[in-house]
Amino acid sequence: MTPLCYVGAPELDARYRTPDGWVRTGDLGLLDADGVLHVVGRLKDVVIRGGANISPAEVERELSAHPLVRDVVCVGVPDPVMGERLAACVVPVSRASGPAAPTLDDLVLHLTGCGLDRAKHPERLLLVEELPLTPAGKPDRAALRERAARA
């Protein structure tokens, strides 16, 4: 199948189609032990820390299972040595006694227990009351990146 916008646009076809006919969508995926494909993010959302690519969506999926995490978005923040560092922007769960905020150590311990490679663990934590949203209703990663870089 050819995306309609590629018809009559050979420069797009050449840019986004592999020599064997596949269309590059920009999605990142991984196959689990059962051969099931999991889409874990987008190429544009990749954080590059010291030359290693980290999919924020993969880390977010694991962190969202933490009992003290209501919502989470991971972003890359600039770093003069590593290029970028991964920051977890977390909305803690609310309890009758107030929010129960996880620490960075809590999150790292959780990710280790999930078997996530240590190189993918966040190095910064930004606690927020709510995730800022774009006009389309998606988490505003640019605003979170800016806040995490200042923190």
Alpha-carbon distances, residue 111 vs 2, 62, 139, 144 (angstroms): 40, 7, 22, 21
Alpha-carbon distances, residue 138 vs 109, 132, 135, 143 (angstroms): 28, 8, 8, 12
Name the architecture of domain 46-150.
2-Layer Sandwich (3.30)
Domain with CATH 2.30.38.10 in the chain: 1-43
Alpha-carbon distances, residue 100 vs 52, 54, 93, 126, 127 (angstroms): 32, 27, 6, 14, 11
pLDDT tens figures, 87-118: 999 999 987 676 679 999 999 999 999 999 99
Alpha-carbon distances, residue 27 vs 38, 45, 96, 145 (angstroms): 10, 10, 40, 21
Helix (H) and strand (E) counts for the chain?
A: 4, 8
Read off the DSSP letter of residue 137.
S
pLDDT tens figures, 26-56: 776 778 899 988 776 665 678 999 989 999 9
Q: What is the pLDDT of residue 42?
A: 63
Is the pTM higher than 0.75? The answer reads no
CA-CA-CA-CA torsion sign (60, 105, 140, 145): negative
For 1-43, CATH gives 2.30.38.10
SS3 110: helix
Q: What residue type is 120 in one-letter code?
A: K
Domain with CATH 3.30.300.30 in the chain: 46-150
Q: Are 86 and 121 in contact (CB under 8 A)?
A: yes
